[in-house]
Every structure is written in C-alpha cells, then in structure tokens.
Amino acid sequence: MFGLPRAKKTAAVVAASAAAAATVLLGAPSAAAAPQPIVGGTTTTTTAYPFVMQITDASQNQFCGGTLVSATKVVTAAHCMVGESTSSVRVVGGRTYLNGTNGTVAKVSKIWINPDYTDATNGDDVAVLTLSTSMPYTTASYVSSSDTSVYAAGTTARILGWGTTAENGSSSNQLRTATVPIVADSSCKTSYGSDFVQTDMVCAGYSSGGVDTCQGDSGGPLLIGGVLAGITSWGEGCAEAGYPGVYSRLTTFSSLVTAQVNS
Ligand code: ARG
C-alpha cells in the first residue's frame, strides 16, 4: 500500500505537475474519515476564515497558504519561501477562489525564514512575511510558547487550504477546510522515525487516513480552538493510513514569530 519512500521531501513547488507513480489511497476508508474531496473536508470561504491568505507568485498563481497575524505580517512555512524573493511573491487576502480577482493583493517587503531551516523533515519550517501594505482583514491570534498543552492527543484541529484534494490530484479552486485530531508524538514517531522532530513538529490526522492537507496547502494554518497552533509542513503522500500530516509546532517558534511581528 505504501509504495513511496518514507518522508518524501516536500517542495514549495506544487500541484499541476505531479502525476506518475501514484500511490493509490486506501479503497475503503473507515466511516470516521470518509473521503470527500484539502483531502476530505468541505468548501469554505475567506469570509468565514478572513486570516487565511493565498501566497502567490507575481502573477497571483497560488502556491502556498499563510496566516495573517497582524495587518502586515503573515506566518507561513519556510519551505514555501526557499528560492523566493520579495519581488517574486504576493500575498492575496479575501479571495476564496483561486481563479478570483477580488480581495486584496499585497507586495512583500521582507521575507524572514527561520535561519535554522534546512528541510521540512528537519523542522524549523516557519517563515514570516512583512507586507508592503496592510491587509484589511481580521487577524488570527497564535499560540504563545507556554501553550504546549494545546497539542494533547485527540484534540480537534482545523486545517485550511487550496491544495490538492487527493494525493497527486489537482488543487481546489475554492478554499477548503477539514478537522483532524492531533496525533500523539509517540505515534507520529512510529510513523516517521527520525524525520519526526518532536520539538518542532506536531502531527494530525486519523489513523485510517482519508482527511489531510496535501500539496499546495503548505504554509497554511492548523487552528486549535480558533488559534493558530501549527503550519502545514509535510507528510508521506496525503491522507494515507498510518501517515498523518506534519505541522510546524508553533509553540516552539512563537517567540521567534513575535520578534518578527514586532520588527
Ligand atoms: N509540503 C506540502 C506543500 O508544500 C504540504 C504537504 C502536506 N502533506 C500532508 N500529507 N499533510 O504544500
């Protein structure tokens, strides 16, 4: 069932291409995680989640997600920003559909990538963008470094994004959301071995798979109780049984983020 090598390295380059060597999803997921076409979940809007931002190229083609945490600061994944420059990216708010032209487009004046970042599977997968102009949207609050109890196993978390709705599938034109349970660190370690860096990552998903973030969702939010607690980072395939999604553990990076938000 799991033909791909464990912990396929993830890139910010997304969707569209893919194809090839498709590992097929389990044919009969459990009732608890029935696949609807994120993977699983339902459509939603940026009206419902106004702090969810599209990270796009200069032509406004979305390739990652981000979360507005102040009028001019957006939290995203470091791996989304590798190879990017302030002139190559835009942040688009208030645009539910990828093919929309509405909302607010902001240029980026600074890209801060966690200086310790090397690869998503080594952790440190966090970046903060400073916008040249303010976003007129409600911001999300984010966890503080002492909020570590939010990641208790079984806690319901919300994921959001425009990423592919199946492993090797296509992106969703409309923003999607789903809820997934936080997975115990010990269990995630069993899934991913040394690629799971407990201090820097938290896993979420059903053991039977079926609901997950996927390519193109990276950088977007994992919310717990409506508060930004994780950043979509990586996973083995998408929604595979036994391989939950891996998110940056934001409590670990909260102080670093705050330093950027206040800079
Ligand atoms: N790295 C992917 C991206 O760049 C996100 C992958 C999330 N994978 C998962 N199985 N949860 O969009």
For the chain, give the secondary structure using H, E and C: CCCCCCCCCCCCCCHHHCCCCCCCCCCCCCHHHCCCCCECCEECCCCCCCCEEEEEECCCCEEEEEEEEECCEEEECHHHHCCCCCCCEEEEECCCECCCCCCEEEEEEEEEECCCCCCHHHCCCCEEEEECCCCCCCCCCECCCCCHHHHCCCCEEEEEECCECCCCCCECCECEEEEEEEECHHHHHHHHHHHCCCCCEEEECCCCCCCECCCCCCCCEEEECCEEEEEEEECCCCCCCCCCEEEEEHHHHHHHHHHHHCC
**Residue 115: closest CA among 101, 100, 127:** 127
* Of 32-41, 93-102, 125-134, 250-259, minimum mean pLDDT range: 32-41
Cβ of residue 172 lying under 6 Å from some atom of ligand 1: no
User: pLDDT-derived band of residue 11, with 50, 70 and 90 as boundaries?
Assistant: very low
Do the Cβ atoms of 91 and 106 come closer than 8 Å?
A: yes
Cβ of residue 67 lying under 6 Å from some atom of ligand 1: no
Residue 7 predicted with pLDDT over 70: no
The domain segmentation of the chain, as residue ranges, is 1-263
C-alpha distances out from residue 125 to 52, 110, 153, Å: 18, 17, 22
C-alpha distances out from residue 23 to 20, 181, 245, Å: 9, 24, 16
pLDDT value for 83? 97
1-263 to CATH, choices 2.40.10.10, 2.60.120.10, 1.10.40.60, 3.40.50.300: 2.40.10.10
Q: Taking the complete model, does pTM exceed 0.85, yes or no?
A: yes
**Residue 248: closest CA among 139, 155, 159, 178:** 159
Cβ of residue 218 lying under 6 Å from some atom of ligand 1: yes
37 has which bridge partners? none
Using one digit for the tens of pLDDT, what is the confidence trace for 121-165? 999 999 999 999 999 999 999 999 999 999 999 999 999 999 999
Q: In whole angstroms, give the CA distance from residue 217 to residue 5.
A: 21
pLDDT value for 38? 83
Cβ of residue 35 lying under 6 Å from some atom of ligand 1: no
**The amino acid at 183:** V
Q: In whole angstroms, give the CA distance from residue 71 to residue 139.
A: 7
- 22 C-alpha to center of ligand 1: Å? 16
Clarify whether 125 is annotated catalytic: yes
- 234 C-alpha to center of ligand 1: Å? 4
Pocket test for ligand 1, best of 202, 233, 240 (most atoms within 8 A of CB): 233
Using one digit for the tens of pLDDT, what is the confidence trace for 169-195? 999 999 999 999 999 999 999 999 999
Q: In whole angstroms, give the CA distance from residue 203 to residue 214.
A: 14
Cβ of residue 214 lying under 6 Å from some atom of ligand 1: yes
Please give the mean pLDDT across all residues of the chain: 88
Kindly give the pairing relationship between strand 156-161 and strand 104-113. unpaired
Q: In whole angstroms, give the CA distance from residue 231 to residue 126.
A: 7
Place of tokens 């069993």: 190
Q: In whole angstroms, give the CA distance from residue 163 to residue 66.
A: 12
Using one digit for the tens of pLDDT, what is the confidence trace for 21-65? 333 333 333 334 333 338 999 999 999 999 999 999 999 999 999
* Of 10-19, 48-57, 77-86, 112-121, minimum mean pLDDT range: 10-19
Percent of the chain scoring above 70 in pLDDT: 86
**The amino acid at 213:** T
**The amino acid at 211:** V
